[in-house]
Chain A
Amino acid sequence: MKHFLLILFFLPVIAFAKEAEPLAENPEVEARMMALANELRCLVCQNQTLADSHSDLAGDLRREMRGMAEKGMSDKEIVAFMVSRYGDFVLYRPPLNAKTLALWFGPFVLLIGVGLMLVRYLKTRRQRLAAQGQLSEDDHKKAEALLQNNGEQV
């Protein structure tokens, strides 16, 4: 039983013990690849970057990117390859184009629209309150009379 528990305890460790990924010979290449991988989305576990993901595909993609970096391809070229295969979806920063206009500017348009509505509402409210606060001719006379008579009933 004791042994069983011990095994149970270490099971997660065993499960995660994976062979270390081969790194690039050149630490500069590795750093460049990882910086790029941080900007790209893993297609399998979509809330992780390619740098963070433990999925097989992410590992393979890092390997491909490492290879491309070693071949001397520029960052732009490497990202372009990824986009040509997986679409803009791999980019955590979507490019600005007709399809993404709403994404980029929608929130600002919404904010400005709501702001304008608020300004208009406040303006009409102020006018309404001002109108309510105005005394009629009769009210004025009554008020004056009250003041002159020192509060005694007219």
Chain B
Amino acid sequence: MNRYLLPLGVFIVLLVFLGIGLNLNPRDVPSPLVGKAAPEFNLPKLENPAEIFVQKEMLGKVWLLNVWASWCSACREEHPLLVEFGKSGVVPIIGLDYKDNRIDGMRWLSGMGNPYETVAFDEDGRVGINYGVYGVPETYLIDRQGVIRYKQTGPITPEILRDKIMPMVKELQK
């Protein structure tokens, strides 16, 4: 009996490791930017290229940066929730329209509602790269000092909003 114990133990340990490995989401790459200063950027606004959104002006506020695009189908999923959340006015949501076409972007907002205080237009995706964007939609929670506190890759769900984002927002706004 005893001589089977060790191999069995090793087998169970391996099984546990494989189980954990299989259940991880390989799409969810931890961002090295969490806990670091949000990269600065100035971009023309979506609705008016002559106006510039200056990211620095958000200092002193807790805010959300939501990266989206009209070509992104997962953005369609989260958009109604964002519109709803935007209405509550808990935090300003800034949109980053990533690698999009200006007309398509504006059409999207007029058709589905606009939850954003401002939308910056990142036509060539440079700002997105600077933020480590790889799976749109992505949402960053940024604190008063301009530090990224949380990153959500993929659509925000009501659960994520309730259990992760809202508690952090409340904590940061204290």
Residues of A within 8 A of B (CB): 43-44, 46, 56-57, 60-61, 64, 83-89, 113-114, 117
Q: A43-B135, A46-B26 are in contact. Are A85 and B130 (CB under 8 A)?
A: yes
Residues of A within 8 A of B131 (CB): 85
Q: A57-B134, A60-B125, A64-B126 are in contact. Are A86 and B29 (CB under 8 A)?
A: yes
Report, as a range, how many residues of chain B touch the other chain: 20 to 34
From the candidates B6, B29, B124, B125, name the one contacting A43 in the complex (CB within 8 A): B29
Q: A46-B27, A86-B132, A117-B7 are in contact. List 7 more A-B contacts (CB 8 A).
A: A43-B134, A43-B135, A44-B134, A60-B129, A85-B131, A89-B29, A113-B10
In the bound complex, CA of A86 to CA of B138 (Å):
13
In the complex, which of the residues B26, B27, B129, B135 has the most CB atoms of chain A within 10 Å of its own CB atom?
A: B129
B33 within 8 A of A: yes
In the bound complex, CA of A43 to CA of B130 (Å):
14
Residues of A within 8 A of B29 (CB): 43, 86-87, 89
| Contact call B6/A85, Cβ cutoff below 8 A | no
Q: A56-B99, A113-B10, A117-B6 are in contact. Are A83 and B129 (CB under 8 A)?
A: no
Q: A44-B134, A117-B6 are in contact. Are A85 and B30 (CB under 8 A)?
A: no
| Contact call B126/A83, Cβ cutoff below 8 A | no
| Contact call B126/A44, Cβ cutoff below 8 A | no
B32 within 8 A of A: yes
30 residue pairs from A and B, CB less than 8 Å apart: A43-B134, A43-B135, A46-B26, A46-B27, A56-B99, A56-B125, A57-B134, A60-B99, A60-B125, A60-B129, A61-B129, A64-B129, A83-B32, A84-B32, A84-B33, A85-B32, A85-B132, A86-B32, A86-B132, A86-B134, A87-B29, A87-B31, A87-B32, A87-B132, A88-B32, A89-B29, A89-B30, A113-B10, A114-B10, A117-B6
| Contact call A87/B30, Cβ cutoff below 8 A | yes
Residues of A within 8 A of B32 (CB): 83-88
Residues of A within 8 A of B33 (CB): 84-85
In the bound complex, CA of A88 to CA of B32 (Å):
8
Chain A residue at minimal CB-CB distance from B6: A117
Q: Which of B103-131 contact A (CB under 8 A)?
A: 124-126, 129-131
Residues of B within 8 A of A88 (CB): 32
Residues of B within 8 A of A57 (CB): 125, 134
